[in-house]
Amino acid sequence: MKEFENCNVLVAGASRGIGKGIATAFAEAGASVWLGARKEATLERAADEIEKISGTRPDIVARDFSNSDASDLIDGLPALDVLVVNYGDTDTAPGFDTSDEAWGRLLTANLTGPARLSRHVARGMAERGHGSILFIGSICGREALGAPIGYNVGKAGLRALSKTMAHELGPTGVRVNLIQPGNVLFDGGRWDDKLKAHPALADSVLKAVPLRRFGTPDDIAQAALFLSSFRASFITGAELVIDGGQTVGF
């Protein structure tokens, strides 16, 4: 029997890259998977690709998860066993040139949106006495690595959100954990665009990574499966850094 058979999984932010990789892994493990993102066309393409790999086609939820009412977002979905929150925004000017509008947008995308969605899903999980909520953050929530300040602050807040929710929900049987990816390379992603424009950038980036490579979506997906599984039933409030050894803080 596949490990996640009879489990309902929503991956919010699943149209490409890490989110699509996580959704694919859950589908291969037997879960019923819902893909969430803003654009229906990209979700349909992702569902096609996942079906070819796993043999089952995920359903799609085409909505802006970062800036919508969470109760409305999951109307019509079955009771969720696993929620993976994998979305955010980095597009803004650096440092204190960030405008008020951009600051608000980044905090909404990286912190407020995930909080809205997860706390709404958590209510149903708590009533049923089980469930796993998994946030996908960034090592920029741990160390100052040159990303826009609003992004860093939002991802740092996600650490606090994850830890606090884990403490609040533990007595109900719901687990909450956080994965902090480093530099993950995939087609159409941020690093893919940067390396196409500046190929020499790879050498300078990888000098900071002891394993001397970029991560892959599957590196994150396999960890997501474990943390959401019964094998991790005594793990909550945990933060798993997957960055090839790049971050150095204790």
CB 159 within 8 A of CB 142: yes
For the chain, what's the residue count?
A: 250
State the Cα–Cα distance between residues 143 and 53, nearest whole angstrom. 36
Whole-Å CA distances, 149 to 107, 146, 164: 10, 8, 23
C-alpha 91/C-alpha 160 separation (Å) is 23
**Cα radius of gyration rounded to whole Å, the chain:** 17
CA dist 57 and 188 (Å) reads 22
Please report which helix (H) or strand (E) contains residue 160, including its range. Answer: helix 149-169
Q: Which helix (H) or strand (E) holds 26?
A: helix 17-28
184: which strand partners? 215
Which residues belong to the active site?
151, 155
Q: Is 26 exposed, middle or buried (0-12, 13-18, 19+ CB in 10 A)?
A: buried
Pairing of strands 32-37, 59-62: parallel
